[in-house]
Structure formats: C-alpha cells, structure tokens
Structure 1
C-alpha cells in the first residue's frame, strides 16, 4: 500500500499547534502557582515584620494549603504557633512534618528539634527530654544537650545534669566544670557521712578555684564537731580566693570562737578588710572584739564608707540620755536597713536575704555577688 504524503503534511502542523497549546497551558499554570504561593508567603512575612501575628498565621495557612509539600512554610507556621503560645498546634505541625516520607535527613532533624522546643515551651519536660534524646549525633546535638541540662537543673536531677555537663565539655560547647562542681555539692547536701565527703572532694577536684566545695567541706567538719579543721579549710580558702571572704567571714569567726583561735581569725579578716571593706567581714571582726572595740570599728567604717547599716550597728551599742526613746528609734533604723542587707542577682535583679549559688529567679549559677545591696 502506498503511503499518502498528504497525511504527513497535515499531521506536522497539527502536532506543532497541539504542542504549542500544551506548553502555553503549562506555563500559564506554572505562572499562576508561582504568583499565588509566594504572594501569600510574602504577605505573611510582611504581617510578621509588622508584629501582626494573627494575620501572618492566616497568610501562612493559605500558603501551606496552596503548596502542602513545602516544608519551609510548615516550619514558619509551627514557629509562629510556638511564639504565640499555641503549643498544641505547633506540635501538630511538626509531628506532621516528621510523618512525611519525603523529608531529607537534615529537615527531619530540624523538625525533631522544633518539636522538642514545642514540648519544652509547653512545660512538658518528660516529652521534651524524649524528643531531645533523639537528636544525639545530629547537627542539633549541642543545642539539645544545653536544653537537657536546663531540664535536669529545673527538675533537680543532679546525676543526669552531671552526665550531660560532661558530654557538653567533650563536645566543645564550653567549660562546665564549675557548674558540675555545683551539681556534686547539691548531691553531697542530700548525702551524709563518707558519701558526702567523697562528693565534695570530687567537686573540689572538678573546679579547684570554686569557693563552694571547701566551704561545704568546712561546714561538714563543723557539723561533725571539728571546728579546728573547719577553720583550717576556711583560712586556706581565704588565702587562695580573697573574693570569697565575705561569704566565709562569719563561719570563720564562729569556728575561731569554738576552738579558741580568735587572734588568728581576726588577723585574716582584718587583712582582707583593709584591702576591700565589706559589711560581712566587718560584722565578723566585731564578733571577735570587745563591745568597745566593735563600736570603734563601726565608726571607722562609717568614716571610710558611707554606710547606714554600720551606723545602725554602732547606734545599737551606744548609751543616750533618753534611753526610753532609743529602742523604737533602733527598731525603725533596723527596719530601714533590711533591704540594704539583701543580695541581688546580677543577671535578673532578684533580691534575697540569703546568698544563693543558683538564682531562684532566673536559675543562673554564681550570679549573686558576695556583697550586700548597700555595697553594690
């Protein structure tokens, strides 16, 4: 059978026309998708920059509906939910991402980290811990370890906190030896006898320059009735860490009175006071002096430092013509000086009448200077 060339002549133009129409339709559809999706996405970004979070969420939801396979839109939406405190919706977004089979390994780790942050912000510490543990060996391991450390400190799980701090040291995230020393001291406070002594010795070896372990060891000896050895530890600490003397001044004076070594303690305290006057050191010195000597010490301090606290201490031992008026005046002055005798956290400003190694307000370690508010 002969081939009819007329079909070829007709077929080529028709095929060309059909191909051109199909390409135009594809281009048109692509342009519509590219025009719609970014429009909603950038509108959401504009709302976000203007701190209009409700409108930003609506825009991102619209963008996600238009392109449900785009992971970046899901991450943006989940982060917005978390920032607004809508943790359940944030969890659903990130769990949906983890359930997808087309996510790359890096995006899966990112979604796992975001999910852990959702649980952490929501206060679900057990679920946050589980999610953070799954990030071991990923690019988010360092951040996960820091978050785990915060969880264990918050729950006062000092054993786990010690383990995580060692991992952080090994990973090069910083030096956590001083903080680990605090953890060991916290464990020692819950122990007794040889176990407490062992933990405190390990704490001292972990952070040789930290003042807390030797102070806790001295307290342990004092509790056991060995005031002389307790004083030896404090005198040694005073020589190596002079900045800690305001914290150990009163225990040192008490130990000196208990073992009859007042002159030695007085020399150590006076030498430090001459270099750096402190109310706590001044009170410890006064406790080792006669009443007349103590009042003279308070007067010299007032002459050197303008101190309402020292003036009130001096006034308490003075004799006046109208003795019946002295007690109410003294009580009023003591009431006025109470706020000046507090310690203040350098990180958050939380004030307390006690010195804390970890701030109860912001949970920061070693943020309380060993100085009263009046001295700051």
Structure 2
C-alpha cells in the first residue's frame, strides 16, 4: 500500500502547483471547492486508478496526459524512478520509453530520460540495450560522467576488459578519479585470458601495462611468476614472487608455498629459510611461519620444528599453529594424553574449517578462496587474507 500512497503524492504535484493560489481563501471548504475546480479531471481519474490498485491503467492515463501538458515531464520521471526503486522495472521502462518518444521534450529532458531508461535496462539485465543508450550519452556534457560509470559497470559484468580499459581512461579525464588500480586489474584479466591460450608473449605485454598503471599490483607479479614456472624458469619465478611482498605484504601467504617449490628446484633451501626468517620477524603471518616450520623439519628434524613453532606461538598465537603443534605432540603421546590431544585437534580442525580465509576490507564479504574482484561490493583488490588468532 505504501507504493500507492507514494505514487499518489508524486502524481498530485502538478495539481498542488495549480491550486497554490487558494492559500488566500478564508475557509477550508472554499479552498477545497476551488481546488477541485482547478484539478484536471484526468488526474483525478488517474489517482482513482492508483487507489484502486489499477496501476497499469494509471500509467496509460498519465502517459497520455504528457501529450497535452509537457510540464508533467518531471512528474513522469519521478514516477518512473519510483517504480524502479520498488522493483517494478517493466513499468519504469514503459514510462521512460514514452517520454523519449515525445518530440516536444527538451534536449535536457530527453538526455535525462535516456539515462533513466538505460538504468532501467541495467536493472533488468538488458545490458546490450543499456550500453547503446549510455554510448549515446557519453558526449553529452551534462550526463557524460554518469554514462561512463554505467558503461564501466556494464563492461565489467560482460568481462569486456578491453572496452573497460578505454572507458576507465575516459572516466579519469572527465571525473578526476584515479582508476589506475582498477585498470591494472583489467590488464591482469586480459593476461589470464592469454595464458589460457598459451599466449605468454601477449600475457606479458598485458602484465607490463598493468604495472605501468599500478606499480604495486601484486596480482601482476603473481601471474608473471606463474608464467615463469610454466616455462621452467624457477629463478625468474622467485624474483617475481618476492616482488609481491614489497608491493602488498598482505598477499605474502599466497607466495610462500610456491616459493618453497622454486627454491627446492634450484637447490637453495638455505636461502629460502633466510627469506622466511625475515618475513616472520618483520611481517608475521601463520602461513610463512608454518612454511618455515616445514622447512626446519626437513632440514633439522621434527623435534627442532616443534620447538621452533612453540616458541613463535608464545609470541604470536594462531589456531593453525596450535593445530600443527598438537599434531607434533600426538606423534609421541600415549594413553590419556593422546586422547586429550585428539580432542584438542578436533576442536582446532572445526575452528579452522568454520572460518573464512579471506575477507573484503570494503564490505566485509567473507570467502574461502581469493577473489580479485569482491563478489559483494564489486571492488577490486579489496579481498585480503584474514589476519589474527583465527587467521594469519
């Protein structure tokens, strides 16, 4: 019922304007009589349709009124927006389409109606139609920025990264916004597509462009490292992986495991251990710590690894670290102690399995896997590993 009253208020705006002079009358009854005489009967009929929940008839009537009185354009725009906000996009489309078809519309009103209709189409998922309208508006000085933002959204939904790059550059010049970080992600998407076709040369060109747009694009370095691994270049992969820690230390958990493989391949595990010691001491994180624990076990034995892990957990407790320590203890435990340790291990397993590994810093979206674009707020490069006792 709220929708009908909201619609009623909007549709009565012209009537209220026409009856404003009644304020000088002495009695309320006289005002009402004068108001009734001034309100067009078509509007009263339309309001009656609204109150009787016959909204399609009301829409047809008010669209017809537009042919007679172009002053109702603002009212129709407001009505269309109201329908869209309430999820009745088909009705909003009808209103905005009929507005655009009116030859008496001013250029400004027509541009605004095109913008609103494009928004209707986007809400309906008719991206091709919306794209056509917004492309028509990008050279309109009044609405070019809104149209460019809408096109950028459309091209991201369609994964049309090349067009997204072009629109982002135009939007920067119009709005003054800095979109280098987002544009770098678009280039990374193109690089990933090229890799799927084994076109590593093109992929590297896109990665070069990504780093030109954002020198701290950790994703570009991760992709570059992956290409080097495919091409059996472990030393080059190490260089790329180690860049990540300088570009964005939050992503270090993504590189410690692959680095382990690369250093093992070139026979320099001691160098890797030195690197991990530096990371654990300066940045922290349970993933680098567990990698260093694994390496210590490989080089010095289980007891040395357990002792090292226990000493580090005293300083920086973490559920995953406790879980590993319990597994070490279980190897030599017996009787009641073993049963108690099994219980503790089950508890830590549940804690680990029940927690999200990643979280968006913008909207709080939680995920088990890394997403470069947040599925929730659609922001880029905002999902990071979770840090703290239950995370990194």
With normalisation by structure 2, the TM-score equals: 0.76
1:302 aligned residue? 313
Correspondence for 1:93 among 92, 95, 100? 95
Correspondence for 2:179 among 176, 179, 183? 176
Task: For 2:308 and 2:378, locate their aligned partners in 1 and report how far apart those are by CA, in whole Å.
Answer: 37
Contact 1:242–1:272 at 8 Å: present in 2 too? no
Secondary structure of the corresponding residue to residue 356 of structure 1: coil
- Counterpart check, 1:369 vs 2:384: yes
* Gap regions ≥5 residues in structure 1: 1-27
Larger Rg: 1
Contact 2:218–2:243 at 8 Å: present in 1 too? no
* Gap regions ≥5 residues in structure 2: 1-30
Deviation at 1:97?
A: 0.9
Relative to structure 1, is the Cα distance of residues 235 and 108 closer, same or farther in structure 2, using a 3 angstrom cutoff?
same
Deviation at 1:133?
A: 1.1
Relative to structure 1, is the Cα distance of residues 368 and 217 closer, same or farther in structure 2, using a 3 angstrom cutoff?
same
Query: What is the 5 A alignment of 1:196-345?
Result: 196-290=203-297, 291-318=302-329, 319-322=332-335, 325=339, 330-340=345-355, 342-345=357-360
Query: What is the 5 A alignment of 1:9-20?
Result: none
2:81 aligned residue? 79
- Counterpart check, 1:105 vs 2:107: yes
Residues 360-369 or 102-111, more deviating:
360-369
C-alpha RMSD of the superposition: 3.2
The number of residues matched between the two structures is 336
Residues 59-68 or 284-293, more deviating:
59-68
1:153 aligned residue? 156
Q: Which has the higher contact order (CA 8 A, sep 6+)?
A: 2
1:3 aligned residue? none
Query: What is the 5 A alignment of 1:28-107?
Result: 36=39, 65=65, 68-69=69-70, 70-107=72-109
Contact 1:149–1:165 at 8 Å: present in 2 too? yes
Secondary structure of the corresponding residue to residue 369 of structure 1: strand
Relative to structure 1, is the Cα distance of residues 239 and 127 closer, same or farther in structure 2, using a 3 angstrom cutoff?
closer
Task: For 2:161 and 2:376, locate their aligned partners in 1 and report how far apart those are by CA, in whole Å.
Answer: 19
Relative to structure 1, is the Cα distance of residues 251 and 34 closer, same or farther in structure 2, using a 3 angstrom cutoff?
farther
Deviation at 1:189?
A: 1.1
Relative to structure 1, is the Cα distance of residues 57 and 309 closer, same or farther in structure 2, using a 3 angstrom cutoff?
farther
Deviation at 1:110?
A: 0.3
Secondary structure of the corresponding residue to residue 285 of structure 1: helix
